[in-house]
C-alpha cells in the first residue's frame, strides 16, 4: 500500500511538472501580457529592471543602475601667474587630482526584435537620465598651502593667480591648498545598442548580452556650482585630463540575468 501511494504521488508530481513546463513553453507574447525582472552587471554599474513584451517584435524596459566608486588619478601641472611680486613660491610644482566617478542613473529602452518569433537578436534605443554630476574632483598642494601661510597679505592674489591645469580647465585651490569640484554631463543622454537575449524570456530564466553607448556630450568641470573657465593653451597628457577631454560617448557592455514572473 505504501509503495502504491508513493508511485501515485510520483505520477501526480510528474504530471504537474509537465503541465507547468508546457505552460512556460507555450508562452505567447501580446501587449504587456507578461512581466519580466532582470539583474545586470555592466559598465553602468549594478542594475535592476523590469520589462514587458509588445508582441514578438518589441519589448519595453525600465531600470536603475548603481555605479560604485571608481577613482582615477592624474598628476597635473600647476600654472603660476603671480608676476613680479616679492613672493618666493616654487614654480615647477605638480598636483595629484583624483576623480571619483560614482552615480545612480535610470533608463528607459525600446528593444526591437526584427526577426520576431523567439529570435534573440535585438536593437535597442532609448535614453538614460539622472543627476548631471558624473563624479567629484579632489586634490591638495602643500606648496599652495604653505604659500598662503607664509604670505597671508597676498592670499587673494595667490589663490586667484595659481591654478591646476586639468585638460583645458584652470581649477582653483582654496586657502588650505585643497581642490574641490565636480565633473558634469547632460542629465538626459540618448542611448543606442544591440545584442542577444530577451528581457522577458520564453522559459523562467534567461541570459542576455548587450553592447551600446550613451551620448553624454562634452564633460564639464565645475567649482562652487560654476563652470571653470577654459584655457585653450593647456595641453596635459595625464589620464584624468584625457578622460575629461575625449570622453563624450560612454560605452556600455552589459550582462543580464533575466526572469519571467508571469
Strand partners, 52: 60
Q: At residue 132, what are phi and psi to the nearest 5 degrees?
A: -80, -15
- C-alpha cell at position 16: 504537474
Within 13 Å, how many C-alpha atoms sit on residue 248's CB side? 4
C-alpha to C-alpha distance for 173 and 195, rounded to whole angstroms: 46
| Predicted local confidence at residue 161, as pLDDT | 83
| Predicted local confidence at residue 91, as pLDDT | 65
Q: At residue 210, what are phi and psi to the nearest 5 degrees?
A: -140, 140
| Predicted local confidence at residue 196, as pLDDT | 97
Residue pLDDT, tens place only, 72-104: 888 888 887 776 566 777 666 788 999 898 889
Contact 153, 93 (CB under 8 A): no
| Predicted local confidence at residue 9, as pLDDT | 38
Please list the ranges in the chain whose pLDDT falls under 70: 1-26, 83-86, 90-92, 231-238
End-to-end Cα distance, the chain: 39
| Predicted local confidence at residue 235, as pLDDT | 60
C-alpha to C-alpha distance for 201 and 162, rounded to whole angstroms: 58
Amino acid at each position: 500500500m505504501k509503495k502504491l501511494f508513493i508511485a501515485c504521488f510520483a505520477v501526480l508530481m510528474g504530471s504537474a511538472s509537465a503541465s507547468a513546463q508546457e505552460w512556460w513553453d507555450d508562452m505567447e507574447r501580446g501587449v504587456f501580457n507578461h512581466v519580466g525582472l532582470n539583474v545586470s552587471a555592466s559598465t553602468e554599474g549594478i542594475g535592476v529592471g523590469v520589462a514587458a513584451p509588445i508582441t514578438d517584435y518589441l519589448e519595453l524596459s525600465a531600470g536603475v543602475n548603481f555605479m560604485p566608486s571608481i577613482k582615477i588619478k592624474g598628476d597635473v601641472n600647476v600654472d603660476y601667474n603671480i608676476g613680479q611680486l616679492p613672493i618666493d613660491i616654487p614654480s615647477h610644482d605638480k598636483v595629484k587630482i583624483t576623480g571619483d566617478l560614482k552615480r545612480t542613473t535610470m533608463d528607459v529602452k525600446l528593444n526591437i526584435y526584427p526577426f520576431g518569433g523567439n529570435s534573440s537578436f535585438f536593437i535597442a534605443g532609448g535614453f538614460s537620465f539622472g543627476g548631471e554630476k558624473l563624479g567629484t574632483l579632489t586634490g591638495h598642494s602643500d606648496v599652495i598651502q604653505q604659500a598662503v601661510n607664509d604670505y597671508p597679505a597676498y592670499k587673494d592674489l595667490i589663490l586667484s593667480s595659481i591654478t591646476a591645469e586639468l585638460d583645458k580647465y584652470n581649477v582653483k585651490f582654496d586657502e588650505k591648498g585643497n581642490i574641490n569640484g565636480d565633473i558634469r554631463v547632460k542629465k538626459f543622454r540618448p542611448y543606442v545598442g544591440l545584442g542577444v537575449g530577451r528581457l522577458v524570456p520564453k522559459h523562467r530564466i534567461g541570459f542576455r548580452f548587450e553592447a551600446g553607448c550613451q551620448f553624454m556630450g562634452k564633460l564639464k568641470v565645475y567649482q562652487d556650482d560654476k563652470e571653470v573657465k577654459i584655457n585653450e593653451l593647456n595641453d596635459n597628457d595625464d589620464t584624468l585630463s584625457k578622460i575629461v577631454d575625449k570622453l563624450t560617448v560612454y560605452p556600455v557592455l552589459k550582462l543580464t540575468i533575466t526572469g519571467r514572473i508571469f
